[in-house]
Chain A
């Protein structure tokens, strides 16, 4: 074996020996990525939404009008697969949004049906529908507002349609597209974490080099008849072997 190859092997072996020496660091470095990736996999939906129900948004609703129209809208909202509706008093609905247990809450005011049907044909004032939402979740407000508008319009315009005509002129067919038969957020999370850990590995290699300089080890290594390429290359190889 050439002296350079012997030196390269000694440098890599040193990194592996140091890594295996610290058992606590070894356990942490193996377990941490698994735990973190599993946690994010769980957060992102577990093993599969390809064919599984879509996760629903919890939304409260208060009906102060109690008419045929508001009941029909509430029924329609309840059947929407994006929403998990709860009928609640206004104060409780507001409190649950405030505590983060509901994403949003809708309040139909008294006189909603009369005012809304009139406003639709240009008569009278439009009713005010309250929408409570958490400002830290900026995407929830437009989503709930959009769904509410859709369901109210479908129900309020139904009497105007005759025969087989529908309030919406199309059916939406949902198809989840994934690389496998089912979407697996754990696979997604572990792949993302792997890339992140490659970045961390690079940072670790750089920090170790700085420490080596600080402690005088780099000076000592450079006193040996070895090129910088051998010293840095062995460092990369050692880090890759111990971290991957």
Chain B
């Protein structure tokens, strides 16, 4: 199912939380909504889930405008909230029965769905235990399972990995990849660029309620005026002639020498790095230490906003 956010706008008093956000999520696509805290991601998700009515703009599911309240289109949506909204004292199975009931599921159909989501989230052996006895990661997985009972074709995940250990995070990622493989549309909000880089087919970067960029990971990295960086340390720093030679090598975009440390920026490290090392060695400059770093979404965000994702 296709989800379209069309010029969504939402104000809270004098504060504009979302200012004309537009994007389209295609079936089977994992769309990442990346931005720092307070960028407007959760408000956008609230409007996409039919919880908050936009001041202007609309949300459409396969061409049908989504409303709030008892709008039947909500049956196509599943929401995984940022807060772990579970009945802590009731067994996991009873939690699932409750959330399934909210979507009209009952009897055998409900039991089959409960079995399926418990298997998917690897919680089948803990179905009788209450979430209060679960680890943080297990509670997050149950939180996701509750949103999957009614088999939504569009799943909205609002920072689903906050506060979980790496192992549980990987389990959540596996679940998301399975869901995407089944052809569901997934909207994934986070401020962790590593998660977006791993999971998302397309990335929408938002800040101050506005869309700054909307592209694939490769597209975003290519569009950013930053490059992959190679850092070399020498006992004896390269001379001017050596620097001039490597500056003109194909793919090299920038060369900086600070003391004995040489930084080389390149569009493709795979081809540029061996050439740089070879030329410098030919001129008698032997490298003592080498590090490389590929450009990432942090660099893209920095280039777009002048800030890092984490210092906002």
Contact = CB atoms under 8 A, between A and B. Distances in A.
Interface stretch (A3-11, A85-93, A102-110, A172-180): A3-11
Contacts of A224: 74, 102-103
Contacts of A223: 49-51, 74, 77, 79, 81
A10 B102 contact: yes
Nearest to B72: A225
A216 interface: yes
Given A219-B81, A223-B50, A21 B104 contact: no
B284 interface: no
B85 interface: yes
Given A6-B101, A223-B74, A224-B74, A1 B79 contact: no
A210 to B, nearest CB: 14
B194 to A, nearest CB: 25
Interface stretch (B32-40, B89-97, B120-128, B178-186): B89-97
B89 A227 contact: no
Contacts of B90: 14, 17-18, 21
A222 interface: yes
B85 A7 contact: no
A10 B97 contact: yes
Interface residues of B, number: 33
Contacts of B105: 6
Contacts of A7: 101-104
A225 B87 contact: no
A199 interface: no
Nearest to B74: A225
A158 B97 CA distance: 86
B85 A17 contact: no
Contact of A227 (B70, B98, B99, B146): B70
Contacts of B100: 10
A95 B279 CA distance: 111
Interface in A1-44: 1-4, 6-7, 9-11, 13-14, 17-18, 21-22
B69 interface: yes
B156 to A, nearest CB: 8
Interface of A: 1-4, 6-7, 9-11, 13-14, 17-18, 21-22, 215-217, 219-228, 230
Given A225-B73, A225-B74, A226-B69, 13 more contacts: A3-B104, A6-B106, A7-B101, A7-B102, A10-B101, A11-B101, A18-B87, A22-B89, A215-B83, A219-B51, A219-B79, A220-B79, A223-B74
5 contacts: A13-B98, A14-B87, A219-B51, A221-B102, A223-B79
